Amino acid sequence: MSLAYLSLGSNLGDRAGNLRRAIFLLRSVGDVERVSSAYETEPVEVIAQAWFLNCAVALETNASPECLLASLLAIEREMGRVRSGSKGPRVIDLDILLFGNEVCNSPDLSIPHPAMQERRFVLAPMAEIAPAAVHPLSKGSMRELLEALPSQGQIVRKVMDSLTVTD
C-alpha cells in the first residue's frame, strides 16, 4: 500500500456535494484515511469564473501512480467533467499531489504536483491533514511550505470543518 495525497476542487454546481461524491468514489481506488476541511478559494490564472471549494485527501492505495491517475480521470468523467480548456470552470478536479516519496516526470504525470508549493489552496488543506509530510524535492514539510508563502496573495478561507461522506 502507498499513501497518496490528493487535491480536490469544484466550482460548478453543488461544490460541497461534488467534493463529497468524489471522496465517496475514491473508495473504489483505496482507503480514504483523512479528509481536510473545505476551503473556499479564489480562482488562479483564469480569474473570470466562480470561486472554488477545495480540500485534500489522504488515500491508501495499491494502485501505481499511473493507475491512480487513470482512476481519477475516470471519476472526473463519471462526475461530468468536460475538459474544455486549462484552468477553466469544472465540476470536479482531482490531482495527485504526493505519492509516497516518489518522483515522477512523464508527459502524462508529474509527482510531486509541479505547482503545489506555490498554491495556498493546496497547502492549507495539506498542512491541516499532513503538516509533517515532506515534499520530496524541496524537502520542506507542508507546514513549512505554507508558512513560506507570501502573506499577500490568493484568498483561501476555511468554510467547513469536515466533508462528511455517507454511503
**Is the pLDDT reported for residue 85 higher than 80?**
no
Query: Which residue is catalytic, options 90, 108, 119, 167?
Result: 90
Question: Residue 13 falls within a domain, yes or no?
Answer: yes
Question: Residue 36 falls within a domain, yes or no?
Answer: yes
State the pLDDT at residue 66. 97
Query: Which residue is catalytic, options 81, 120, 157, 167?
Result: 81
Q: Provide the CATH number for the domain around residue 62.
A: 3.30.70.560
Q: Indicate the DSSP class of residue 115.
A: T
Residue 165: strand, helix, or coil: coil
State the pLDDT at residue 116. 95
Query: Which residue is catalytic, options 21, 95, 119, 120?
Result: 95
Question: Residue 167 falls within a domain, yes or no?
Answer: no
31 in active site: no
Question: Residue 124 falls within a domain, yes or no?
Answer: yes
Q: Are 123 and 32 within 8 A, CB to CB?
A: no
State the pLDDT at residue 25. 98
Question: Largest alpha-carbon pair distance within the chain?
Answer: 40
Span 25-77, pLDDT tens digits: 999 999 999 999 999 999 888 888 999 999 999 999 999 999 999 999 999 99
Nearest Cα residue to 163 out of 2, 61, 24: 24
Question: Residue 165 falls within a domain, yes or no?
Answer: no
Question: Residue 166 falls within a domain, yes or no?
Answer: no
95 in active site: yes
Q: Are 148 and 167 within 8 A, CB to CB?
A: no
End-to-end CA distance of the chain: 24
**How far is Cα 104 from Cα 99, in angstroms, rounded to an integer?**
9
Query: Which residue is catalytic, options 15, 20, 93, 120?
Result: 93
143 in active site: no
Q: Total domain count for the chain?
A: 1
**Is 65 or 82 the better-scoring residue by pLDDT?**
65
**Is 154 or 56 the better-scoring residue by pLDDT?**
56
Question: Residue 17 falls within a domain, yes or no?
Answer: yes
Domain that holds residue 52: 2-160
Amino acid (one-letter) located at 66: E
Span 99-150, pLDDT tens digits: 999 999 999 999 999 999 999 999 999 999 999 999 999 999 999 999 999 9
pLDDT above 90 coverage of the chain, percent: 81
